[in-house]
Chains A and B, each alone.
Chain A
Amino acid sequence: MSVTNTLTPASRPVLEEESRKYFTFVNLIIVLTAATFFELIIIVMPFPSLLLMWGLIGLSLVKFVGVVWWFMHLRWDQILLTLVFLVGLIIATGTVAALMLLFEEGGPEVAEEFQV
């Protein structure tokens, strides 16, 4: 059992690229945090609820894309991985959206109760 560093050090270009990523990541976390606080702030604002909904959707989309694109390395990886993920994401989003629409239509008594 040893506590020594058994990893072989990386080559210069790798080191430089990873060091650049450090700043990208720190910038990103600032944006993510800001977006989270924005989400918290807008819900207490007296905006119409439809606007608020789209605001929430937009802000969470920004956060989602930020994490997927930079933290999860899709920016630096081959396009194939993005495509594989997008297939699942698009079908899942479509299914969620279709379900929401289906249940909106699901009978008059339901439609009356529905309030955003």
Chain B
Amino acid sequence: MSQAHTEPLGKASEHVHPEEQTNTGIPNKKVAMWAFLASDCMFFGTLISTHLIYRKTTGYPDVTHIFDIELTTGSTFILLMSSLFMALAVSAMHKGNLNNARWSLGAVILFGSLFLGAQVYEFHHFVHDLGLTINGSIFGTTFYTLTGTHGIHVLFGIIWLSSWLIYSFFGTMKREHALDIEVAGLYWHFVDIVWIIIFPFVYLIEYV
């Protein structure tokens, strides 16, 4: 997989393979990731539509007593913070500051795990204390499928970034891996913007 570099790497004697220069100057991985995110818009678009369609056509009873909106606002904030640290990690990689990048990555993973923990707690609470199950009502069906799919995206992002964090301790992480971190970061930010949509249109909308 080729990567284009805006500036020469390492030693000047190294030759750059022609297939690593791209027409646009944008690395292939980044183009592919943006195309993936475009595709993922459609993915979550379909899921969110399903939830909203059933919300309006079945007229299910008031669910505000189920939600714990303070908790959800908290986890929204946590996910936003993780996005900040993700952006800082990418920035640090571009600066060539591995230590800084490592701490930032650690923070992203920590906040991501907190978010996931909050979601696990939320699901556990809904199922065991409130009896809201995925096969108990249409609300449970669409709610768990949508937020669960988002949670799996978060989990996958945590695994991806943790792999880089571990990898960075083997002394093999180099400047050109800034691109890989950046691509992972794009994914992470996207997961964040999906939550930016889910928070008002799945949770807050019930209070309107």
Contacts and interface: CB of A to CB of B under 8 A. Distances in A.
Nearest to B37: A85
B178 to A, nearest CB: 8
B169 A1 contact: yes
Given A80-B24, A85-B34, A36 B41 contact: no
B26 A81 contact: yes
Interface residues of B, number: 71
Given A71-B83, A80-B24, A56 B193 contact: no
Contacts, number: 185
Nearest to B36: A88
Contact of B42 (A6, A92, A116): A92
Interface string B112-128: 00000000000000000
Contacts of B53: 99-100, 103
Interface string B3-46: 00001011000000000000011100011001101111110111
Interface of A: 1-11, 14-15, 18, 21-22, 25-26, 28-29, 32-33, 36-37, 39-40, 43-44, 49, 52-53, 56-57, 59-60, 63-64, 67-68, 70-73, 77-78, 80-81, 84-85, 87-89, 91-93, 95-96, 99-100, 103-104, 106, 110, 113-116
Contacts of B205: 53, 56
B31 A5 contact: no
Contact of B49 (A77, A78, A100): A100
Given A5-B99, A64-B197, A103-B57, A18 B94 contact: yes
B105 to A, nearest CB: 13
B10 A8 contact: yes
Contacts of A100: 49, 52-53, 56
B73 A14 contact: no
Nearest to A2: B171
Given A40-B204, A91-B42, A8 B96 contact: yes
Given A36-B77, A36-B80, A71-B86, A5 B204 contact: no
A10 to B, nearest CB: 4
B107 interface: no
A114 B56 contact: yes
